[in-house]
Amino acid sequence: MSKIARSTAGAPKKTWRGTWVERDGMLWSPLLGSLGLVAGFTTRAQGSLAGSRHPLEEQARNRAALARSLGFDGVTRVKQVHGRDVVRRDAPAEPWPSADALWTDRKAVLLAVAAADCVPVLVADPEGPIGAAHAGWQGTTLRVAEALVEALVAGGAARERLVASLGPAIGPCCYAIDMERAAVVNERIGEACLRKVNDRVVMDLWAANTAQLRSVGVTRIEISGVCTLSGDADLWSYRGRGPDGVYGTQLGFIGRLA
pLDDT at residue 20 greater than cutoff 60: yes
Q: What is the mean pLDDT of residues 199-220?
A: 97
pLDDT above 90 for 165: yes
Angle made by CA atoms 8, 10, 15, in degrees to the nearest 5: 110
Q: Which residues contact 24 (CB under 8 A, 6 or more apart)?
A: none
CA distances from residue 137 to 81, 134, 170 in whole angstroms, order as listed: 12, 10, 11
Lowest mean pLDDT across 29-38, 44-53, 139-148, 180-189: 44-53
User: What pLDDT, on the 0 to 100 scale, is given for residue 55?
Assistant: 80
Query: Is the pLDDT at 10 greater than 50, yes or no?
Result: no
Complete edge-to-edge strand list for the sheet that includes strand 38-41 = 21-23, 26-28, 38-41, 250-255, 110-115, 75-76
- For range 63-90, the mean pLDDT: 97
Rounded to whole angstroms, how far apart are CA atoms 79 and 10?
Answer: 35
* Phi-psi category of residue 234: left, alpha or beta, with phi > 0 → left and psi -120 to 50 → alpha: beta
pLDDT at residue 176 is higher than 60: yes
Q: Dmax of the chain from CA atoms?
A: 52
> What pLDDT is attached to residue 2?
42
Check pLDDT > 70 for residue 62: yes
Give the residue from 65, 64, 114 showing the smallest Cα distance to 92: 64
pLDDT at 240 over 80: yes
Q: What's the predicted TM-score (pTM) here? A: 0.92
Nearest to 68 by CA among 114, 108, 36, 101: 108
pLDDT digits (tens, 9 = 90+) for 100-140: 999 999 999 999 999 999 999 999 999 999 999 999 999 99
Task: Calculate mean pLDDT across residues 200-222.
Answer: 97
CA 82 to CA 100: how far, in whole Å?
Answer: 6
Domains for the chain: give ranges and CATH numbers.
Answer: 15-169+206-255 (3.60.140.10)
Q: For residues 117 and 235, give the distance between their C-alpha atoms in angstroms, rounded to a whole number.
A: 9
Tell me what the pLDDT averaged over the chain comes to. 91
- What per-residue confidence (pLDDT) applies to 222? 97
The tens digit of pLDDT for each residue in 32-60 reads 999 999 999 999 999 888 866 778 888 89
Q: Map residue 102 onto helix, strand or coil.
A: strand
Residue 14 has pLDDT above 50, yes or no: no
